[in-house]
A and B are shown apart, each in its own frame.
Chain A
């Protein structure tokens, strides 16, 4: 694999002024937008030097060369360069010897292919991994720690793998899949050959440069053993309004698994085929205006069931193989009518979308809250009801295991410092479920500013979701001073629950990603 290949030479380049990333990218790599983007990422993250190494093709790059040659026999693999960006000035081997991963910004494998018969003589980004933006509003959720070599040493960088198409053996769909799946599987060397093999299913007429259709994308995910939830909006246009693509995509990035979005291009010269990009994170702005203003100004008199946590999100973080890595898309920029296909990657062992879990949990919430409200005088339950009356209920859906949930509960303190009874925490480990969707329940100021919640509803995520209140998916709910267990459905059809005390009287921290 090129990221770990032994270099045949090493060059130290100072990137401090007057060094120009534009000049360098144009002179060395013909300056395509995704390659320029690498230099922009380096500059924006404080790169003081870059290290350029020529490497020999290995592993997936070697496979790709073979695959291209089988398509176009006059193919030449002209060059393969590994470029790494560093926050420390590295002018010589002495400087290099003191380099550590904490100075690393990212690396890229740049590949030069030539096919005279097709007029191809171009560089592209075979792969690149860069650290996320340090801005506290940015959450690069779909990321992993990836090792790479520089000189005779190994380093690592935490980021989301980006790849660019070459219009010969891979198109946007293959590179989007590699971005997400390599991170999901923790297999940075997941090859395009494997993706193409899974997509083609052995069909000899398969043309990789034509990209993949949505069925083939699903076949790749299935072949890699990655669970997913998908919606083809072109086949189901009536879902665009009640179940917009943002729900599915946000659920994927919030769970840390990622999502793919396929959309039609617009404009007088738009081609018939669509484009697909991987979604790898989101922003979160605690000062967002829209969640407050929507009810007051733009949906006056309308009924709103709940405000999803993504209302505080301005943009999705994405890669686009045409433009580069770690870009932001305002969450509504891609119009719903343009979107044809959306896929949410699910955590291992999960059988349905977190977006559906959120909807079903809201139903449990509205059923349980009146009954709980009648049970006592907890201040936060009263406030919760007040906010619900103002249509300001907030729900956030995240995956969690029962063990992690119980551990978090055991460590948690409410705002007044109250901890849960340890015996009850131990008792909760007897719940017969493992993988859960946890739908956290909160209200505006508590959620966005304090990043805390008033409760949660847990649904079993391993088995098919029941759309009825029959206890088939409901595991547990917790609200101030209350746990709620499902009991039974009476012969007359009434769902019944059992509620027990909890020592938590106020709000607890939201689940935070490590």
Chain B
């Protein structure tokens, strides 16, 4: 078998060259790191862990939580694939396969 069949190559999402760009000097004193063009998203409440919990853990180390602002790379492609799989699961019953 060819190697590319033995591995799952997710070529649809990301151009990895962006990490090379990071090797350019970055001002790490910035509390917010802006990366590339931003794609609009709807806001959503934090459900699992409150900012207070992050602050509490940071306090255990004598510091404060650091804010990271990030951009999703290839978000649309991931979203499309996930939606496609989820849609496929919904319509499976319309094309039943007989197995004996």
Q: Which residues of A contact B (CB under 8 A)?
A: 165, 171-173, 209-218, 229-232, 234-236, 238-239, 242-244, 246-247, 262, 272-276, 290-291, 293-294, 297-299, 302-308, 310-311, 330-332, 340-341, 352-353, 356, 359-360, 362-363, 366-376, 385, 388-389, 391, 421, 423-424, 427-428, 430-433, 460, 465-472, 474-476, 483-501
Residues in chain B near residue A370, CB distance under 8 A: 18-19, 22, 33, 35, 70
Residues in chain A near residue B16, CB distance under 8 A: 303-304, 388-389, 391
Residues in chain A near residue B70, CB distance under 8 A: 367-368, 370-371, 469, 494-497
**How far, in angstroms, from A6 to B89 measured CA to CA in the complex?**
46
In the assembled complex, the CB of A148 is this many whole angstroms from the nearest CB of chain B, namely 29
Residues in chain B near residue A353, CB distance under 8 A: 85
Residue of A nearest to B78 (CB): A363
Asked whether, in the complex, the Cβ of B40 is within 8 Å of the Cβ of A210, the reply is no
Asked whether, in the complex, the Cβ of A359 is within 8 Å of the Cβ of B3, the reply is no
| Contact mask for chain B residues 2-40; partner A; CB cutoff 8 A; 1 contact, 0 none | 111111111111111011101000101010110100111
Asked whether, in the complex, the Cβ of A362 is within 8 Å of the Cβ of B10, the reply is yes
Residue of B nearest to A355 (CB): B85
Asked whether, in the complex, the Cβ of A487 is within 8 Å of the Cβ of B53, the reply is no
In the assembled complex, the CB of A225 is this many whole angstroms from the nearest CB of chain B, namely 18
In the assembled complex, the CB of B82 is this many whole angstroms from the nearest CB of chain A, namely 4
**How far, in angstroms, from A433 to B46 measured CA to CA in the complex?**
12
Residue of B nearest to A388 (CB): B19
Asked whether, in the complex, the Cβ of B22 is within 8 Å of the Cβ of A211, the reply is no
At the interface, is chain A mostly helix, strand, loop or mixed? mixed
8 more A-B residue pairs beyond the given contacts A366-B74, A499-B66, with a C-beta to C-beta distance below 8 A? A218-B92, A236-B88, A274-B99, A304-B16, A356-B82, A468-B79, A475-B49, A500-B65
Contact of A427 with B41 at beta-carbon distance under 8 Å, contacts A218-B92, A274-B99 already known = no
Most buried by A among B7, B53, B84, B98: B98
Can you list 18 A-B contacts with CB-CB less than 8 angstroms, sorted by A residue number?
A215-B93, A218-B92, A230-B89, A235-B91, A239-B88, A274-B100, A305-B13, A356-B85, A367-B35, A371-B68, A374-B22, A389-B20, A427-B53, A474-B48, A476-B48, A484-B68, A489-B42, A500-B57
Residues in chain A near residue B9, CB distance under 8 A: 294, 299, 302, 304-305
**How far, in angstroms, from A374 to B30 measured CA to CA in the complex?**
9
Asked whether, in the complex, the Cβ of A262 is within 8 Å of the Cβ of B99, the reply is yes
Asked whether, in the complex, the Cβ of A234 is within 8 Å of the Cβ of B97, the reply is yes
In the assembled complex, the CB of B5 is this many whole angstroms from the nearest CB of chain A, namely 5
Residues in chain A near residue B11, CB distance under 8 A: 302-305
In the assembled complex, the CB of B89 is this many whole angstroms from the nearest CB of chain A, namely 6
**How far, in angstroms, from A356 to B89 measured CA to CA in the complex?**
12
Asked whether, in the complex, the Cβ of B61 is within 8 Å of the Cβ of A332, the reply is no
| Contact mask for chain B residues 35-75; partner A; CB cutoff 8 A; 1 contact, 0 none | 10011111111111101011111101101011111111111
Asked whether, in the complex, the Cβ of B38 is within 8 Å of the Cβ of A360, the reply is no
Contact of A376 with B49 at beta-carbon distance under 8 Å, contacts A231-B92, A424-B57 already known = no
Cross-chain contact of A232 among B1, B15, B68, B95 (Cβ < 8 A): B95
Residues in chain A near residue B82, CB distance under 8 A: 356, 359-360, 465, 467
**How far, in angstroms, from A489 to B51 measured CA to CA in the complex?**
13
**How far, in angstroms, from A423 to B62 measured CA to CA in the complex?**
13
In the assembled complex, the CB of A352 is this many whole angstroms from the nearest CB of chain B, namely 8
Asked whether, in the complex, the Cβ of B44 is within 8 Å of the Cβ of A472, the reply is yes
